[in-house]
Structure 1
Amino acid sequence: MQALVATLFTWGMTAAGASPVFFTDRENRRLLDILLGFTGGVMIAASFWSLLAPSIEMAGELAVPAWFPAAVGFALGAAFLRGADWILPHLHLNAPMHEAEGVPTTWRRTTLLVLAITLHNIPEGLAIGVAFGALAHGLDQASLGGAIALAVGIGIQNFPEGMAVAMPLRREGMSRRKSFWYGQLSGVVEPIAGVIGAAAVLFWQPILPYALAFAAGAMIFVVVEEVIPEAQRSGHADAATLGVIGGFIVMMVLDVALG
């Protein structure tokens, strides 16, 4: 239930990010690039402070080297996202249609844009679910404050993701209401993934270190494959880079202060 509430919050932040479409037709591209960079920084910091570091600590209770669950889980998480990226049709933000990825399809550009963000919200939901699921086992490495910090950090970085979907759809002539609808819809997968992640570690504790690292690997894949390249695409590289630094600092402070 805690994982569900937390991921409903992050979904709500995605909707909040899409809501400016009711008031303006165009986003400030420089600001959006900074916010996308911020998103990347949050995800990088969360991958280590909230996921990999606890995974390594928890591995001490298993009969394997401390690095093994983190390395295996991280690789599997990246491989999972790469496989989904290869199969599911989607289109990165501001990319022309001929750059659509996944199996060939006749789906509309709108659908492909929403699917791109939806696909990459899966690891965020999983990360939150696993963090809250770990609380049930009473481990020293798992804390309610740390799980809340992760949810807050991901919620903050979901705001620009909602904006990054809704605004391009509005520019392409879609109504404000539909642009908002599709913008917030990209975050609906997070509560689903969150509940699945929490349930998995709740009923099978030995996979917990692997699950934490799995979420980290999937998030780093998203950052390197989409978030940072998109933030750098429009010529605001320095501003976007500062956004990454800022996002990393904010997530690190949240995790250390609350966790």
Structure 2
Amino acid sequence: MESFISLHPVMQAFLWTMFTWGMTAFGAAAVFFAKGTNHKLMDGMLAFAGGVMIAASFWSLLSPAIDMAEDSNVPGYIPAVVGFLLGGALLLLVDKLLPIFNQDRYFTEIKDVKAKHRTALLVFSVTLHNIPEGLAIGVAFGALAAELSSASLGGAIALALGIGIQNFPEGMAVSMPLRREGMSKMKSFMYGQFSGMVEPAAAVIGAFAIILIDPLLPYALSFAAGAMIFVVAKEIIPGSQERGYVQLSSICLMIGFAVMMVLDVALG
């Protein structure tokens, strides 16, 4: 432990986000234990993913963004609203542009064009959501190097632990829907763990650029929240109900929300 404490805060941030990435991969690995391609189960898992994403949007992103803004004497609703709407606007633009990308190159095992589109949007949005989480960890450890009065090693570690544990269901939230669309277990796992790969890079950037990033972090968090809600509303909920399992998808969405809410509140 002493050797870890002696490391530069930037390196500490990098190592802790390697842990959060590992937890994402651990969650994505659940796809290997799924039995076949039971459509009812997979639709339920897709709805569960939607609940996880909705809860993460508020408890992990919007709520901290509002708190950070208010601590900086800025009305909390300003970065929350601006970032949230910009995040949705970006995903609307991505949604328009996705058809010009060669999705067949990446999702060859998925035959349905609409499913490929939904898959691309899901992977993009969850990956985008993980960038501000990595930044948040980087800023927490970077504050130690900047010797800010509010910074503490314990607080930074607690933040990394909380994000890491909540990344477990997020890994599932990517890999299981991909498997639902017909992708192989290995590819579903690879895309699921890839969504968390951005966190170490974002943490290093956040730790190095805390003076620049800190005022912008509430906007970044809200931006990711808006992107995720757009995907849930446009793709996840309709997709989970397209085979007629409306009640099941509603229940699974609520369970996913509850699980993520407990993790975020208990570990926040």
Do the two structures share a fold, i.e. TM-score over 0.5? yes
TM-score, normalization by structure 2? 0.74
- How far apart are residue 86 of structure 1 and its match? 2.2
In structure 2, the partner of 1:153 is: 166
The residue aligned with 1:96 is none
Give the structure 2 partner of residue 95 of structure 1. none
Distance 2:79 2:64 in 1: 11
Shift of 1:104: 6.5
Partner of 2:242: 233
Q: Does 1:107 align with 2:124?
A: no
Structure 1, 186-195 or 71-80: larger mean CA deviation: 186-195
Aligned to 1:207: 216
Over the residues paired in the alignment, what is the CA RMSD in angstroms? 2.8
Cα distance between partner residues in 2 of 1:154 and 1:226: 21
Written as runs of structure 1 = structure 2, the 5 A alignment for 1:69-88 is 69-88=79-98
Query: Paired residue for 2:113?
Result: none
Alignment-mate amino acid for residue 161 of structure 1:
V
**1:185 maps to 2:199:** no
Query: Equivalent pairs: percent with the same residue?
Result: 34
Equivalent position of 1:242 in the other structure: 251
Shift of 1:216: 1.2
- The question of whether the paired residues in 2 share the 8 Å contact of 1:51 and 1:213 is answered with yes
> Which of the numbers 12, 16, 25 marks the counterpart of 2:26?
12
Structure 2's unaligned 5+ residue stretches are: 1-13, 111-115, 144-149
The separation in 1 between residues aligned to 2:93 and 2:217, in whole angstroms, is 22
1:154-180: CA deviation from partner (whole Å, max 9, x where unpaired) = 42143253233235436xxxxxxxx22
Measured after TM superposition, the shift of residue 239 of structure 1 is: 1.0
2:40 aligned with 1:40: no
Change (3 A) 1:217 1:198: farther
Does the CA contact (< 8 Å) of 1:121 and 1:189 recur in 2? no
Structure-1 separation of matches of 2:101 and 2:180: 25
The residue aligned with 2:147 is none
- Whether the 8 Å CA contact 1:38–1:244 is kept in 2: the answer is yes
1:52 Cα offset (Å) = 0.8
CA distance in 2, matches of 1:115, 1:84: 10
Structure 1 portions without partners, runs of 5+: 89-101, 171-178
Are residues 150 and 46 of structure 1, via their aligned partners in 2, closer, same or farther at CA, if it must alter by over 3 Å?
Answer: farther
Structure 2 CA distance for partners of 1:200 and 1:75, relative to 1, 3 Å: farther
User: Structure 1 residue 251: deviation in Å?
Assistant: 1.4
**Are the counterparts in 1 of residues 44 and 249 from structure 2 also a CA contact under 8 Å?**
yes
